[in-house]
Structure 1
Amino acid sequence: MKEQKVKLWTGQFVTIVLTTFIFFLCLMSLTAGFPVFETALTGSSSKGGFMTTFFMLGAILTRPFIGVLVHKIDIKVTMLFTLTFVIVTLFLSIGRESFTLLVIIRIFQGVSFGIITTLLATVATQILPQKRFGEGIGYFGMATSLGTSLAPMLALTLIHATSFNGLLLVTIGFAIICFIGSFFVRDTHAMTAIDSHQIKGSLVSYMFDKKAFLPTFLVMLFYITFGGIVNFIDGLGHEAHIEDHISSFFLVTAIAMIVIRPFSGRIFDRLGHKFLILPAAVFGLIGLFLLSITESTLLLVVAAGFYGLAYGVIQPTLQAWAVSRVSADKKGTANAMTLSCMDLGMAIGAASLGTVADKMNFHKMFGASSVLIVLLIVIYAIYTFGRARKAHMQAQEEAV
């Protein structure tokens, strides 16, 4: 008798995926828009960069704590309260020009981003059927990646077509949609509650789990390169005299992610991460190399395709790997670590690769960033082959 396929696309999962996509589109649009607005207002690119730095800092510092508290709180109520706060901060941003006030607003928005994204990721990992876990995480990861990759294109388009306040009004609309979507999230307090006798170790141990360290560290390495792309692809366009077509990079990247995600998720469920990470990393390496020599729109599009395939596989696969390595009561911790490393990678990429670009140029900067992919490949290969060798030796000892 043929085994019945476990249902993946439940109403709850659809709600989580759509809410995640819209929320990432909302706040990541501001991550691209605030630096443009502040730089134009003050003439200081460093002040523009602070808009992203403080946002990421707020998210990074929040996630370890929410990763622990997610097991003790009512997720629906927390989401509704936090999204209300986000909407208030968006309204407060309209027409404001004070650098200090905007920095404070960005910190609060970063804290909210850290809370909401961790809650959504935790609910997603808890409601997914185990037999289709990798596939489900792939689709969830696609929501985060699409929101992140399409947001800069949306932000720049709206700012140029209307104004920064126009962008803020659109993001307020997105936040309201997410608020409405939160009403359809099940009350997950009972589902996430952990009895006190189940929790072993200190509070700090629930902020960090060493079992999730390797995949989350690799996520950070990859996102440093993505941080370089989000912040400096426009500079590359001007340098290569293809600035009118630079937004096509994000569009092609998004298409590549949509194409690859369903396949990569199924491969993870059947064969594991070892058949995904290395090929995807090679694609990312090719994409960055092509960017380093890009002088035409065609080469830009090809580079976007390769990098999009890498992005579409690496982030969700490493997240699924991190979550699968920890115990049930540490899923929130693993998700928080993954998302924090994504934010940390983007923050490091914006700062460090910007310095490289100042000393060299944007083409050479993208070439230099490919070293991070090489490092990712080396670390993962050492781990994988080391595990294989250990398993082989154990098998030989048992045979004797």
Structure 2
Amino acid sequence: MEKEVLWNKEFIFISVANFFLFVTYYALLVSFPSAAIRNYGATGMIAGLFTAVFLVAAIIIRPFTGPWIERRGKRFIMIISLLIFAVASFSYSFFDSVIPLLILRFIHGIGFGMATTITGTIIADIVPESRKGEGMGYFVMSSNLAMVLGPFIALTIFRAFDIYVLFWIGAFFAFTALVFGVATRLEKEEKTTIMKKQSMFEKAAMPISLTVAFFALSYSTVLSFMAIFAAERGLGAESSFFFAVFAVVLIFSRPFTGRWFDQYGANVVIFPAILLFGLGMLSLGLAQGAFLFFIAAGLIGVGWGTLFPCFQTLAIQSVEPKRRSVATATFLSTLDIGIGGGSLIVGALAGGMDLGMIYAFSSVYIFTGMAVYYWAQKKNAISIEGTQQHREA
């Protein structure tokens, strides 16, 4: 049997738009708190708000995005969201005080929350059912690569130039994402015209969404405290390459894990990925030198880097196609809550505990996640069966 086409123009354009969207996001994520202190005289607490208000805006807007997509159509909402994101990126250079910049960060977060919801929804619709795991994996890899390139660009520019240079580069990336979004042509779709009250959360997607939030609590500690941990262990020079190793290993493993998901089912991929993720966190906690530090990066890259697209695929498979936008919004909002919650919890613990100990203990937490996923996949199987019966009816 001939394989259904995956790498069509729409898939490539949306993935490229998603890549530039996340490059801008990660570049500003790692640089804005430092810029707030250095350029605008903000305190540490105020500097943290530059990240917090952005994520809060994204979490707030996502539940509304799903119903808007059903009523106005995917392409319209995609262009609007990328336009908001691009205009906000462009506007940073015109303000030099904290309050206006915080307001702009909130608006920027609205565009980001909408855009990440709609791009995931479009990909879920255009990827063939027989290659859903593979396709979602490649799509998510675009944001994984951005996670490496964004911070690298930001830290390189921020050390050598003023923050405003980075703002203009971020604006260029954001407008590039908008161009690819506008260039994407989608099939004509039916819009919901009945103005009845619609649920902004997808109940069927909640078990898997709660599961990804469970694991995100642990992964957020890597995102938020890697630089501090590396400095404590005398690995400051190596820290900038941690996510590079993460990404390289992920790129080489992704073609296999996506196909195995489609051919053999989710469990064959997810349970080993949980194990590798836990071993990676244990290795990171025990790392005293570069060798084990990079081993941890590779294990976490395969583990978490495999779990995230697999969970997102299960979330969208649990609902009817017309509810995929709401399922995607539910999934990503819950993920953001997990990442934000994990950063707050570890931030509170870090004052009295060694970060290495926290990483090592988190491996036990991750291993218990096998039971959480076992519960969720049972619930998800029921949802998928009900969805299939509804389609056949």
User: Which amino acid is 1:255 matched to?
Assistant: V
Specify which of 228, 237, 241 is matched with residue 244 of structure 1: 237
- CA drift of 1:94 comes to 1.8
- CA drift of 1:95 comes to 6.1
In 2, the alpha carbon distance for the partners of 1:18 and 1:387 equals: 30
Kindly indicate whether the alpha-carbon contact (under 8 Å) linking 2:147 and 2:243 is maintained by their aligned counterparts in 1: no
Counterpart secondary structure, 1:358 = coil
Equivalent residue number for residue 203 of structure 1: 198
Structure 1: runs of 5 or more not aligned = 389-400
User: Which amino acid is 1:261 matched to?
Assistant: R
User: Which amino acid is 1:283 matched to?
Assistant: L
- CA drift of 1:202 comes to 4.1
- CA drift of 1:273 comes to 0.9
Between 112-121 and 45-54, report the one with greater CA deviation: 45-54
Kindly indicate whether the alpha-carbon contact (under 8 Å) linking 2:29 and 2:51 is maintained by their aligned counterparts in 1: yes
Verify: 1:280 aligned to 2:273, yes or no: yes
In 1, the alpha carbon distance for the partners of 2:380 and 2:129 equals: 24
Between 342-351 and 119-128, report the one with greater CA deviation: 342-351
Cα distance change on mapping 1:383 and 1:226 into 2, 3 Å: closer
- CA drift of 1:104 comes to 0.9
Equivalent residue number for residue 309 of structure 2: 316
Cα deviation digits, residues 62-83 of structure 1 (max 9, x gap): 0011012111214333333333
In 1, the alpha carbon distance for the partners of 2:77 and 2:379 equals: 43
User: Which amino acid is 1:215 matched to?
Assistant: I
User: Which amino acid is 1:90 matched to?
Assistant: S
Cα deviation digits, residues 279-338 of structure 1 (max 9, x gap): 101111111111112211121111000000012210000000011011122111111112
Equivalent residue number for residue 397 of structure 1: none
The alignment's C-alpha RMSD in Å is 2.2
Equivalent residue number for residue 390 of structure 2: none
Structure 2: runs of 5 or more not aligned = 382-393
Verify: 1:119 aligned to 2:118, yes or no: yes
Between 127-136 and 94-103, report the one with greater CA deviation: 94-103
In 2, the alpha carbon distance for the partners of 1:305 and 1:115 equals: 31
Alignment of 1:157-236 (within 5 A): 157-187=156-186, 190-191=188-189, 193-194=191-192, 196=194, 202-204=197-199, 207-236=200-229
Equivalent residue number for residue 6 of structure 2: 8
Cα distance change on mapping 1:387 and 1:265 into 2, 3 Å: closer
Kindly indicate whether the alpha-carbon contact (under 8 Å) linking 2:207 and 2:380 is maintained by their aligned counterparts in 1: no
Cα distance change on mapping 1:150 and 1:329 into 2, 3 Å: same
- CA drift of 1:386 comes to 9.3
Kindly indicate whether the alpha-carbon contact (under 8 Å) linking 2:207 and 2:376 is maintained by their aligned counterparts in 1: no
Equivalent residue number for residue 107 of structure 1: 106
In 1, the alpha carbon distance for the partners of 2:158 and 2:273 equals: 34
Verify: 1:52 aligned to 2:45, yes or no: no
In 2, the alpha carbon distance for the partners of 1:299 and 1:26 equals: 31
Between 379-388 and 66-75, report the one with greater CA deviation: 379-388
In 2, the alpha carbon distance for the partners of 1:22 and 1:326 equals: 29
Equivalent residue number for residue 25 of structure 1: 23
TM-score, normalised via structure 2 length: 0.90
In 1, the alpha carbon distance for the partners of 2:375 and 2:329 equals: 26
Kindly indicate whether the alpha-carbon contact (under 8 Å) linking 1:256 and 1:312 is maintained by their aligned counterparts in 2: no
Equivalent residue number for residue 88 of structure 1: 87
Verify: 1:307 aligned to 2:305, yes or no: no
The size of the alignment, in residue pairs, is 380
Identity across aligned pairs (percent)? Answer: 28
In 2, the alpha carbon distance for the partners of 1:264 and 1:35 equals: 36
- CA drift of 1:157 comes to 2.3
Counterpart secondary structure, 1:276 = helix
Specify which of 248, 252, 264 is matched with residue 255 of structure 1: 248
Equivalent residue number for residue 292 of structure 1: 285
Counterpart secondary structure, 1:72 = helix
- CA drift of 1:384 comes to 5.4
Cα deviation digits, residues 23-47 of structure 1 (max 9, x gap): 1111222112112212434463322
Cα distance change on mapping 1:382 and 1:217 into 2, 3 Å: closer
In 2, the alpha carbon distance for the partners of 1:310 and 1:79 equals: 30
Equivalent residue number for residue 340 of structure 1: 333
Kindly indicate whether the alpha-carbon contact (under 8 Å) linking 2:73 and 2:189 is maintained by their aligned counterparts in 1: no
Cα deviation digits, residues 207-260 of structure 1 (max 9, x gap): 222211111111112222222112110001110111011011110011111112
Cα distance change on mapping 1:387 and 1:187 into 2, 3 Å: closer
Cα distance change on mapping 1:387 and 1:166 into 2, 3 Å: closer
Cα distance change on mapping 1:228 and 1:222 into 2, 3 Å: same
In 1, the alpha carbon distance for the partners of 2:96 and 2:108 equals: 17
- CA drift of 1:342 comes to 2.4
Equivalent residue number for residue 37 of structure 1: 35
- CA drift of 1:130 comes to 1.1
Counterpart secondary structure, 1:191 = coil
Counterpart secondary structure, 2:183 = coil
Equivalent residue number for residue 262 of structure 2: 269
In 1, the alpha carbon distance for the partners of 2:91 and 2:182 equals: 24
In 2, the alpha carbon distance for the partners of 1:165 and 1:369 equals: 38
Kindly indicate whether the alpha-carbon contact (under 8 Å) linking 2:318 and 2:380 is maintained by their aligned counterparts in 1: no
User: Which amino acid is 2:35 matched to?
Assistant: F
Kindly indicate whether the alpha-carbon contact (under 8 Å) linking 1:194 and 1:329 is maintained by their aligned counterparts in 2: no
Cα distance change on mapping 1:386 and 1:213 into 2, 3 Å: closer
Counterpart secondary structure, 2:287 = coil
Between 116-125 and 41-50, report the one with greater CA deviation: 41-50
Kindly indicate whether the alpha-carbon contact (under 8 Å) linking 2:37 and 2:43 is maintained by their aligned counterparts in 1: yes
